[in-house]
Amino acid sequence: MFFSLALNRQKQQHFSIMAVAVLFCLFISLPVFADVPFPKVPQAKGKKCVEETAFMRRNHMELLMHQRDDTMRKGIRTTKHSLQGCLDCHAVYNDENMPVTIQSEKHFCNSCHNYAAVKIDCFGCHNSKPFVKKQPRTEKPEI
């Protein structure tokens, strides 16, 4: 009673707005405290991704698609935005220190895509492990 008397009407209104705002903030941050399962993204090998992390989260598919068409249709073979580039840095290793394939839930792509229920079909054709240099069967001379 004393408290409300000490405040005039305008200040009272301010107080109630602030109180609602604080409560709202607490409410929306509840899931964090409640330990809702978030995707556990495995640590990558390199120090820094080819683009900003926030940009990659939103746009990695666009980059991959662009690179895919450039390589397939025009023969541009830069590796900055290549799928193999992703796999080389973001490889996850199992207990035997071998890189896991897309069959594993631990695979980098699966860690988010399983969570978001987005099915990708890249690995129907593409290799899902880091690049291993193949032993040349025969010497390949320059053209």
Partner 1 sequence: MTDHENSAKNLLKAPDNKSRRKFIGIASGVTGMTLLAPGIFLNQVAQAKTDAEAASSKVRWGMLIDTNKCKSGCNDCVSACADENGWKNQTRNNEELPNEVRVQWMRKVELKGKKTGREVSLPVMCQHCEKPPCVDVCPTGASFKRDDGIVLVDKHTCIGCRYCMMACPYKARSFVHSPVEFHDDYMPRGMGTVESCTFCVHLVDKNKSPACVSSCNEKAIMFGDLNDKNSDISKRVSQVASRQIRGDLRTDPGVRYQGL
Q: Closest separation between CB of residue 112 and partner 1, Å? A: 21
CA 87 – CA 64 distance, rounded (Å): 12
Write out the binding residues for partner 1, residues 103-142 only, by CB under 8 A. Answer: 123-128, 131-132, 134, 137-142
Q: Which lies closer to partner 1 via its Cβ, residue 110 or residue 128?
A: 128
Check binding of 74 to partner 1 (CB under 8 A): yes
- Among 122, 41, 39, which Cα is nearest to 83's? 122
Q: Closest separation between CB of residue 87 and partner 1, Å? A: 10
CA 74 – CA 110 distance, rounded (Å): 30
Residue 83 burial class via C-beta count within 10 angstroms: exposed 0-12, middle 13-18, buried 19 and up: buried
Q: Which lies closer to partner 1 via its Cβ, residue 13 or residue 84?
A: 84
CA 114 – CA 94 distance, rounded (Å): 19
Q: Which lies closer to partner 1 via its Cβ, residue 40 or residue 74?
A: 74
Sequence letter at residue 116: A
Among residues 79, 94, 104, 114, the one that binds partner 1 under rule CB under 8 A: 79
Among residues 75, 97, 116, 117, the one that binds partner 1 under rule CB under 8 A: 75
Check binding of 73 to partner 1 (CB under 8 A): yes
Distances (CA, A) of 32 to 27, 38, 39, 88: 10, 9, 13, 32
State the residues that interact with partner 1 by CB under 8 A. 68, 70, 72-79, 84, 123-128, 131-132, 134, 137-143
